[in-house]
Each structure stands twice: as structure tokens, then as C-alpha cells.
Structure 1
Amino acid sequence: MRLTEAYERALAGFDRRVRLVGAGQWDAPTPCAQWSVRDLVNHVTGEQLWAPHLLRGETLTEVGDRYDGDVLGDDPVAVWERAAREARTAFTGPGALDAPVHTSGGLTPAEDYARQMTLDLTVHAWDLARGTDTDDRLDEEVAEMVFTYVEPQIGGWQGFGIFDPPVEVAPDAPVQERLVALLGRDPA
């Protein structure tokens, strides 16, 4: 599977779940201990809003603080839809992954940035499904691709506090269970 296809499928999976958020669910808790459903959607939406800027070569300083705080406003779904549409266009445009992008980790190959964004969309789609009590099944091919990307790096990422420590699951568990467990979530 091409990287841009994985990104698009992960984006679609998160999008489907955003559209299922009920009016009374925005304050519901998620597996991300400090985030409500709204906080989680705000985080992922903010990440997507950044993408077109970074893929155009802008620096973090040039983007500035415009996406700090609440980006969802009074119509979270509409803001998400716009952010997703613009990010998808940016990631899938001609030559989009050819040049490195500026990230908080420094100048990063755009393909690595796309993998990170696919990871973010995938794991948070599961979190969002759990927070809204909807279908949490992930695209199996995307989950496999993300797991293959994350597994060799997770030890180095643990020190940054990005993910909770891995949860133990059977080595022959389905890839979705192994992925969410690797990222500190209890698949049960």
C-alpha cells in the first residue's frame, strides 16, 4: 500500500468517527486520560490544519500560534471537515512528499511526517471510537503498516511521554490489539 493511500484511509477512518459524535458526547472521556472527545478531535484537527503549511515548506515560526488552543469553535464537525480536506489535498498533491518539512523534531523527511500523521489518525480513531462507544475496528492494512512503523521505534519514544507504557497482549493477537497495546492502550 502506498503511504498516501494509508494516510487517506486513516483520515477517512477518523472522519467517519467524528461524524458519529453525538451532541452530548463532546465532553465524554477517552482512553487519552487528559482528553475529552472534544480535546481529542481538537488535537487531531489542529494537526491537520498544520499539514498544508508544513508541506509548503513553512517553518514552525512562520505558522506561529494560530492553531493553539481551541480550533473547533462552535461547529467542530465543519472545522474538522475543512482541515481534513485541506490536509488531504496537501498530502496527495504532486511532489507533496518530496521535500523535508519543519517539525518540532527538526527538519523531517515528508514521508516520515506522513507516517507520523497516519499513526496519529489511526490510534486516535480508536480512541475516539472508545470515547463515543462506537465501532473501534481499524482498517487492518493501515493498522499493520502503522504497527510495522511504530514497533522498532517505540522504545525511543517512551521517554518523550507521547505514549503510556505498552500493555501486554498475546504475541499472536490481532494487529489492531498489538498496535493499541504497544501505544499504551488496553485493547480490552
Structure 2
Amino acid sequence: MTHRIADLLDTAAARAVPLVRDTPDDGLGAPTPCAAYDVRGLLNHLTHVIVNFQLLAAKQPSDFTGEPDYLAGPDWRARFEDETAKLVAAWAEPGAEEGTTGAMDLPARTVAAMVLLDLTVHAWDLARATGRPFEPDPVVVAELTGEVERMAPTARTMGVFGEAVELPVDAPAFERLLAMTGRDPRAWATA
């Protein structure tokens, strides 16, 4: 990755936050392309990731067990926006991209790529689950592609990614990125 991670996260957040803000309460039970979650579960998971990756940016311990119900209160949309802004700010701090972080002692930029991937791919999951279009920033997609290629074998072994989905050679870059994570972008195409 060649761009500052905080800038990439800010760009991804600018596309994800409006999707969350405009998610209707009556759509929270809809299935998503991320088979483990309905919309409510997906939003809880993504918020939990965002909160914990703020800690990882500061080289503090994180806890990904037992996702709280971030959607329990009426202000969950505003909370998502606030937590996402805190995520961007945390990764903008001097030294956040340097060294290692997390229980697996990974390079901080690799860890940052993980949260960027979650923010981007889960925004797509949310958009598809609620029948809305989503187009990520091409720079974000370009930056993530190499990272996902490197992390895919380990992510599949750990059950984080599904098996890669076969797509035509001329498939757009973001569809190829989604396919590497085990998602079939063509099965969830919008009308």
C-alpha cells in the first residue's frame, strides 16, 4: 500500500457511512452476501471491528470476542459514524502505520489493510442486502488488491474468506477483489 492508511480509510468511510445512515430499521433482518450475518449482525460485526481497530492503531490490546449489540439504542447510526471517524483519526496518529500490532504481531499496515477491507467489503454487503448500489473508490480497490492476494491463503485457512469465486477474465477490479474473499458479486448484482 502506497497511500496513507488514514486517507484510504477516510475515503472508504465516506462511502460506507451514508449506507449505514440510510439503512431502514425494517431491513435489519435481511440476508447479506456475508452468509454468517443478516443486516443487523453485519452492522454489529462491522462496528465491533471498527472499535477494535482503533485500539490496534494505538498498539493496544483488542477483544474481538462477544460482539455487543451496537444497534440496541436509537442512535446506532450516529454511533457508527462517530466510531468510523475515530478509526480514521486513530490511524492518522503518528506511528500508527509503523511497527507491529495485534495478538498475531502483524505489521501495522497489514492490520490497517484488514480494517480497510472490512469497511469496503461489508459496505458492499450492506448495499447488496438492502438493494442499493455501491461503488468503492478505485484507489482503495487498487491498494487492497495486493493485500488481499497476500492474505487470502491464511484468511481461507482461518475461515475468514471463503473459497475464491471464478469470474470472467475481464471482470472489473472490485468484482475480482470480492471474488478473492469468497463472494460472488454476480449472484448479488443489483437490478
Establish whether TM, by shorter chain, passes 0.5.
Answer: yes
Pick one of 161, 164, 184 that aligns with 1:163.
Answer: 161
Rounded to whole Å, the distance in 2 between the matches of 1:120 and 1:175 is: 17
What is the 5 A alignment of 1:69-80? 69-74=68-73, 75-80=75-80
Percent of pairs with identical residues? 33
Pick one of 138, 141, 147 that aligns with 1:140.
Answer: 138
Rounded to whole Å, the distance in 2 between the matches of 1:6 and 1:26 is: 28
Rounded to whole Å, the distance in 1 between the matches of 2:149 and 2:79 is: 32
Counterpart residue number, 1:52: 54
Question: Once superposed, which parts of structure 1, at least 4 consecutive aligned residues long, lie more than 4 Å away?
Answer: none
Pick one of 168, 171, 174 that aligns with 1:173.
Answer: 171
| 3-state DSSP of counterpart to 1:58 | coil
Rounded to whole Å, the distance in 2 between the matches of 1:184 and 1:86 is: 29
What is the 5 A alignment of 1:100-139? 100-103=100-103, 106-139=104-137
CA shift for structure 1 position 85: 1.6
**CA deviation map 1:142-172 (0-9, x unaligned):** 1122112112332232111111211110122
* Residue ranges of structure 1 left out of the alignment (5+ in a row): none
Rounded to whole Å, the distance in 2 between the matches of 1:82 and 1:171 is: 39
Counterpart residue number, 1:3: 4
**CA deviation map 1:103-134 (0-9, x unaligned):** 3xx11221111111111111111101101111
TM-score by length of 1: 0.88
RMSD: 1.9
1:10/1:122 contact within 8 Å kept: yes
